[in-house]
Amino acid sequence: MILLGVNIDHGATVRQARYRSASSEIAPAIEPDPVALALAAERAGADGITMHLREDRRHIIDRDVDRMRAAVTTRLNLEMACTEEMVAIALRVRPQAVCLVPENRTEVTTEGGLDVVGQRDRVARCVEAMQSAGIETSLFIDPDPAQIDLAAELGAPVVELHTGAWANAWFTDRRPEELRRLIEGAERAHAAGLVVNAGHGINYENAAEIRGLPHAHEFNIGHSIISRALFHGIAEAVREMKARINPSE
């Protein structure tokens, strides 16, 4: 069975669109609450909750991380950049897992995988700090052989393959090639002893194809689930996605 991690960032995006500068005096009126969203996703069958604390705090904010750590009963996965600030926050909060991701302040959402090769020393220090604290560490990378090999060399037990290029090519003739890259990347990562996760751009249509990714352990999905929840509610959105990625269950 492929596990489902629900990313609740875009629930917080809706909140921040209205309450980014709100004072604490109106806290009881602030909605939607990403913690409540996460707990509803758990009740519907989510195997874990993913959240990305960005340096600019555009959606998830520090208070969310603390509250989420106290409330989540499945598994909290904190996406974060390889910076001293984020390392310190992770070591204080102690989520069950962290996923190291690239971060560009001009992007709307994460646009590519972490360049482990180009930032070897920085990533190595971050992986060592997390592993020493007993926090499972995943590297969000493109399905590139050099990135996969170095991820294994640095001792990160998990990689999350960036599926964005494949998802973006869904209606083009590049799609078979992007799927091939993901399959070969998953096989290479598994052969190197890495747990294989995947995420970015997975939705209710393309899930039927990506669920065949060899050795897939967990998919982290956010935007599509939050979008579906606007029409059908978070519980139904989570249940349907779980059924799509595990149709025989």
- Grouping H, G, I as helix, E, B as strand and the rest as coil, residue 147 is helix
Contacting residues for 140 by C-beta, under 8 A, at least 6 apart: 79, 99, 100, 101, 102, 110, 113, 114, 159, 160, 162, 199
User: Which stretches in the chain have pLDDT values below 70?
Assistant: 23-28, 104-111, 249
Question: Could you report the per-residue pLDDT of 148-196, keeping only the tens digit for each?
Answer: 999 999 999 999 999 999 999 999 999 999 999 999 999 999 999 999 9
CATH code (residue 146): 3.20.20.70
Q: What is the pLDDT of residue 90?
A: 98
Q: What is the pLDDT of residue 20?
A: 85
- Grouping H, G, I as helix, E, B as strand and the rest as coil, residue 159 is strand
Catalytic residue numbers? 52, 79, 200
Reported as type and span, the H/E element at residue 38 is helix 34-43
- Grouping H, G, I as helix, E, B as strand and the rest as coil, residue 227 is helix
Q: What is the pLDDT of residue 137?
A: 97
**CA neighbor of 72 nearest in space, from 99, 102, 37:** 37
Rounded distance between C-alpha atoms, residue 236 and residue 228, angstroms: 8
Residues of the domain holding 229: 3-245
Task: Give the total number of structural domains in the chain.
Answer: 1
Rounded distance between C-alpha atoms, residue 159 and residue 142, angstroms: 9
**CA neighbor of 18 nearest in space, from 7, 31, 8, 27:** 31
